[in-house]
């Protein structure tokens, strides 16, 4: 989507006639019209970005793909509109984000003709043309119509009606269109009619249009270039969510305005066209140059929002199967289909559909499902009804079976299929409740996985994939609620920003918590009622709570402290999450908001509200009855513990509640003693929870760091790699790999951890050496092995270093002997770090001949691991002087500077090459480099020296930003230095 102007302009038929008839007074006429209308475009008529108004019926777009003005759209060009300020146009509904409720769309007849040809693989500015008829119902008498349109050249606007319902919607009249203008800031096309439309009557809006196909962005209609069967090829696909349908055709582009669609795509005969529904028929069309095109029409869709309309034009192959009489097809590159890379996705898709159909007792309403693997799809995956789109990396199973890719594919496919009910069948009324789509689809990923894999470690995987990230981002200040009461965002870009961790991860966590304090039968029963009631319609958060409340009221077993709405509103409308602190001596439990780096006067900033917190808990290994903390503090005598070694309490069973847990000193001591004596008495998910909660709380000043460190004493007995992953992430964060400047603490950590790592290391190094295939279905191992190997090699265990040498050397000599994927990044890095230019040149050659983006990044990172300054210097020279390294791939200078040796090499390199670096990566990259190189600063003198070094390279505003950032880095380092001193003291005492 191109940049929008901040105002609109008028194009009046009467004004055009006036100007033509008064040529001698044209300047005066323009001045008068400017005063009257306030914001007419000040450009030549042939350059207007507008729609024409005609008395004739709709005419087809020009056969050459041009607009009626003879101009083809340029996707890189801003509209040729010299618009004047908003204050020059009358205020009205075009100043609001939401469409006025004057018209309700019922049906779209849409024809698209993208001019994509297989012999034009590098079109400078590909365009598409189209025609659309929109049947609408008028609800309020109005002589002004608003609908969405962005950068579309339009012609032949007609408003027909009222329609005669008794005669096949035959037109019984026409409403003349006097004026047409655009409010570009809100993406509106505004039609001024000569007479008002009548409430209750149906009308048909007709127009032709032309627009750009994008190459550098995945919005609206866009191109993907790729290689298949040794040839360069191109395909066209669409992405409409959230507000990009208006880039493709004029429409009522809001989620609540559902309508049916009849879609026609005109395309080159060598391509196949796909859309939401099955193909209805095909015919042939000839353009003005005698070229033949195929016209593919599709069956009518169910009512759906514009953001679910989907199109693809491609030269792909497919595999297919039938599930309950409905065809499922996976479309991908012909090479990928021939290699069987789509088979896994195909085999799981049908059973997932069947499981969810049975679970909700609602059949999937479409007769087919197409899933297409796009070579490059920024949005990762999209749930369009009947035509799901995926980035191929998330859909196709690679030849190397030893990856976590099967699990990733299972999750993503489950998520998008879940949307067929949550989002497609029932759609949120407005984007402020997008979590009703994404949060529930994210939750049902895990329900599907648990169903098909009974041994699936669902709690641990949910923590790793969902909770871990969001608990680090969410806090009481400077974060947002999962749902917002304000519906009217001021900018369209604000809608795009809602697709974030809060919508997905926090939304899934809210759903999981709701399910946990109910029982599964009640949870699913309420959802069935909700889905049935709002099928093919729209809902908001309160509608969902109402159906849960109905389910609660129809039974007596589960009793809640208040309504479902009151409970869930306390979570969805409030930013952050609580810390629940239990004093096991008294049984007093309290809640407080979680802050980053809590300070003593934090109470001045606390929320006005508390959360209504479900507390699932365990005492002495036995699950206890649910209790509720519905105020800031409450007494639970049953949670008191005695002095007995066997008396202990853990809150937040299975980490199903969205909060962190703290205990008094006795509570932590009891758990620490139990871990040392019998760690298996505490379930894996809670060993994981204790480590993660304790280190997070200590980092943010809620407990002492020593309390968290005490929990690690038992680790020699820990054989669960996911728990070790949490330990290593906290004690050996990634920056320690390059910032071992405090050699004292490094030596202490090495001695302390290696002693405890021996057992877990022996288990997995043996598997890697003897039977690596045994890891194929161990998802937790696949996602944790890299951190384990990285840590052990960092700590200098010779077994790890030697294994790295051997695996790298074996791969060099026999490339068919692939390095096991889960540890490939680590092995490549240490293979280079322990090697010479021979190993480095070998990796460069592999990089040059590699086409997979994920693997290329692995190689770029690995080549920065060299300990030889001259190799790193040569590496950076290659990056700025050759075309080997893609501009969009990564900044090689940044990656080199991130290593301990590379920090100094990169600094010297910039002295002599900073102009070339800025030309290659942009001036902003220098600010990033400043942060990376200065990440260890701890004094104002160091800040000054770094600023003096970078000052000639930075612009003035960048210097101010950099200074503030460096001050923040210094303060963070000083805080960490104090923390490190305490860690070192504890390690000396306990090593």
Q: Which residues are annotated as a binding site for Zn(2+)?
A: 415, 419, 438
- Residue 533 CB coordination number (10 Å): 14
Could you give the angle at which helices 721-731 and 743-770 cross, rounded to 10 degrees? 150
For 870, residues 6+ apart whose C-beta sits below 8 A from its C-beta are: none
The answer to whether the beta carbons of residues 727 and 688 sit under 8 Å apart is no
879: three-class secondary structure by DSSP: helix
Instruction: Label residue 518 left, alpha or beta by phi (over 0 means left) and psi (-120 to 50 means alpha).
Output: beta
Nearest to 153 by CA among 188, 135, 184, 129: 129
**Encoded tokens for 436:** 């009703």
Cα(815)–Cα(811) distance, integer angstroms: 5
439: three-class secondary structure by DSSP: helix
Cα(895)–Cα(430) distance, integer angstroms: 42
Cα(593)–Cα(581) distance, integer angstroms: 11
Polymer length in residues for the chain:
991
Active site residue 416: yes
Cα(397)–Cα(415) distance, integer angstroms: 17
- Residue 491 CB coordination number (10 Å): 12
Residue owning tokens 């799809």: 377
- Residue 55 CB coordination number (10 Å): 10
DSSP 797: -
**Strand spans (E) along 98-201:** 103-114, 127-138, 142-148, 153-160, 163-164, 170-171, 177-183, 188-197
Instruction: Label residue 38 left, alpha or beta by phi (over 0 means left) and psi (-120 to 50 means alpha).
Output: left
The answer to whether the beta carbons of residues 617 and 638 sit under 8 Å apart is no
DSSP 463: I
Provide the pairing of β-strand 387-391 with 368-374. Answer: parallel
* Residue 605 half-sphere exposure toward CB, CA atoms < 13 A: 16
Residue owning tokens 């049908």: 350
Euclidean distance between the first and the last CA atom of the chain, given in angstroms as a whole number: 59
The answer to whether the beta carbons of residues 185 and 2 sit under 8 Å apart is no
The answer to whether the beta carbons of residues 152 and 140 sit under 8 Å apart is no
Cα(654)–Cα(641) distance, integer angstroms: 21
Residue owning tokens 């079976």: 401
**Encoded tokens for 848:** 């040059």
Cα(901)–Cα(905) distance, integer angstroms: 7
Could you give the angle at which helices 956-990 and 940-950 cross, rounded to 10 degrees? 140
Q: Which of 416, 445, 720, 839 is an active site residue?
A: 416
**Encoded tokens for 666:** 């006795």
Cα(164)–Cα(171) distance, integer angstroms: 6
Cα(382)–Cα(238) distance, integer angstroms: 10
Known binding positions: 415, 419, 438
Nearest to 654 by CA among 538, 513, 781, 525: 513
Tell me the torsion sign for CA atoms 55, 60, 64, 67: positive
- State residue 115 phi and psi, 5-degree precision: -90, 55
167: three-class secondary structure by DSSP: helix
Cα(506)–Cα(879) distance, integer angstroms: 40
Provide the pairing of β-strand 231-239 with 170-171. Answer: unpaired
Q: Which residues are catalytic?
A: 416
């Amino acid at each position: 989507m191109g940049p929008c102007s901040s105002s609109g302009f008028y194009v009046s038929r009467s004004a055009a006639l006036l100007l033509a008839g008064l040529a001698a007074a044209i300047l005066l006429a323009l001045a008068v019209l400017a005063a009257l209308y306030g914001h007419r475009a000040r450009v030549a008529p042939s350059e207007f970005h507008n729609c024409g108004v005609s008395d004739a019926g709709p005419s087809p777009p020009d056969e050459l793909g041009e607009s009626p003005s003879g101009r083809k759209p340029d996707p890189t060009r801003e509209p040729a509109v010299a618009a004047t300020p908003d204050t020059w146009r009358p205020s009205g509904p075009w100043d609001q984000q939401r469409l006025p409720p004057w018209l309700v769309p019922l049906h779209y007849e849409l024809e698209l003709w993208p001019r994509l040809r297989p012999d034009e693989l590098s079109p400078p500015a590909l365009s598409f043309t189209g025609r659309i008829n929109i049947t609408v119902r008028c609800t309020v008498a109005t002589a002004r119509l608003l609908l969405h349109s962005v950068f579309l050249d339009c012609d032949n606007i007609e408003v027909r009606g009222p329609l005669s319902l008794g005669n096949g919607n035959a037109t019984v009249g026409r409403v003349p269109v006097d004026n047409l203008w655009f409010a570009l800031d809100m993406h509106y096309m505004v039609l001024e009619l000569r007479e008002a439309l009548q409430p209750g009557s149906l009308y048909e809006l007709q127009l032709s249009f032309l627009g750009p196909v994008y190459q550098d962005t995945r919005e609206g209609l866009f191109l993907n270039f790729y290689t298949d069967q040794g040839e360069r090829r191109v395909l066209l696909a669409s992405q409409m969510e959230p507000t990009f349908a208006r880039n493709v055709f004029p429409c009522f582009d809001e989620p609540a305005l559902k309508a049916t669609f009849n879609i026609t795509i005109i395309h080159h005969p060598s391509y196949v066209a796909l859309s939401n529904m099955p193909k209805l028929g095909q015919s042939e069309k000839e353009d003005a140059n005698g070229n033949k095109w195929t016209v593919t029409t599709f069956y009518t869709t169910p009512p759906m929002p514009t953001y679910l309309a989907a199109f693809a034009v491609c030269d792909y192959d497919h595999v297919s199967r039938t599930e309950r009489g409905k065809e499922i097809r996976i479309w991908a590159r012909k090479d990928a289909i021939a290699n069987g890379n789509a088979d896994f996705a195909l085999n799981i898709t049908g059973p997932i559909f069947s499981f969810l159909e049975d679970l909700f007792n609602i059949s999937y309403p479409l007769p087919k499902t197409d899933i297409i693997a796009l070579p490059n799809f920024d949005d990762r995956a999209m749930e369009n009804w009947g035509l799901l789109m995926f980035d191929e990396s998330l859909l196709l199973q690679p030849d190397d079976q030893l990856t976590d890719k099967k699990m990733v594919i299972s999750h993503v496919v489950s998520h998008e299929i879940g949307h067929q009910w949550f989002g497609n069948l029932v759609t949120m009324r407005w984007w402020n409740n997008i979590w009703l789509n994404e949060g529930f689809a994210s939750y049902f990923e895990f329900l599907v996985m648990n169903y098909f894999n009974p041994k699936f470690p669902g709690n641990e995987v949910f923590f790793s994939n969902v909770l871990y990230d969001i608990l680090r981002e969410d806090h009481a200040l400077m974060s947002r609620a999962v749902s917002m009461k304000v519906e009217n965002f001021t900018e369209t870009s604000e809608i795009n920003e809602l697709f974030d961790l809060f919508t997905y991860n926090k939304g899934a966590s809210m759903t999981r918590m709701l399910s946990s304090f109910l029982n599964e039968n009640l949870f699913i029963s309420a959802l069935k009622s909700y889905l049935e009631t709002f099928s093919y319609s729209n809902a908001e958060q309160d509608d969902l709570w109402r159906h849960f409340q109905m389910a609660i009221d129809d039974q007596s077993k589960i009793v809640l402290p208040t309504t479902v709405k009151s409970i869930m509103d306390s979570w969805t409308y409030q930013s952050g999450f609580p810390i629940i602190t239990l004093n096991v001596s008294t049984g007093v439990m309290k809640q407080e908001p979680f802050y980053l780096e809590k300070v003593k006067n934090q109470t001045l900033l606390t929320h006005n509200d508390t959360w209504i917190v479900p507390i699932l808990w365990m005492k002495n290994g036995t699950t206890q009855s649910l209790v509720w903390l519905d105020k800031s503090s409450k007494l639970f005598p049953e949670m008191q513990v005695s002095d007995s070694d066997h008396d202990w309490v853990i809150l937040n069973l299975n980490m199903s509640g969205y909060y962190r847990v703290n205990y008094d000193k006795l509570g932590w001591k009891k758990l620490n003693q139990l871990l040392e004596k019998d760690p298996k008495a505490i379930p894996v998910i809670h060993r994981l929870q204790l480590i993660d909660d304790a280190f997070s709380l200590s980092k943010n000043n809620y407990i002492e760091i020593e309390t968290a460190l005490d929990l690690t004493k038992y680790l020699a007995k820990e054989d669960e790699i996911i728990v070790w992953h949490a330990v290593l992430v906290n004690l050996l964060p990634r920056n320690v790999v390059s910032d071992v400047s405090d050699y004292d603490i490094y030596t202490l950590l090495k001695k302390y951890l290696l002693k405890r790592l021996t057992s877990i290391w022996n288990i997995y190094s043996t598997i890697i050496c003897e039977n690596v295939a045994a890891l194929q279905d161990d998802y937790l191992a696949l996602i944790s092995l890299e951190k384990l190997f990285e840590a052990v090699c960092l700590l200098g265990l010779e077994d790890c270093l030697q294994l790295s040498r051997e695996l790298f050397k074996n791969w060099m000599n026999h490339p068919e002997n692939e390095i096991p994927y889960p540890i490939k990044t680590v092995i490549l890095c240490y293979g280079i770090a322990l090697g010479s230019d021979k190993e480095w040149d070998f990796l460069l050659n592999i990089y040059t001949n590699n086409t997979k983006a994920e693997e290329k990044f692995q190689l770029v990172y690995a080549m920065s691991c060299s300990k030889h300054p001259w190799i790193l210097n040569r590496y950076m020279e290659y990056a700025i002087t050759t075309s080997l390294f893609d501009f969009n791939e990564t900044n090689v200078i940044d990656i080199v500077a991130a290593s301990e040796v590379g920090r100094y090499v990169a600094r010297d390199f910039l002295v002599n090459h900073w102009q070339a670096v800025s030309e290659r990566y942009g001036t902003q990259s220098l600010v990033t480099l400043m942060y990376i190189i200065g990440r260890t600063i701890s004094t104002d003198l160091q800040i000054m020296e770094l600023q003096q070094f970078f000052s000639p390279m930075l612009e003035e505003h960048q210097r101010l930003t950099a200074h503030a950032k460096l001050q923040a880095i210094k303060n963070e380092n000083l805080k960490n230095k104090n923390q490190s001193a305490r860690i070192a003291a504890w390690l000396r005492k306990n090593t």
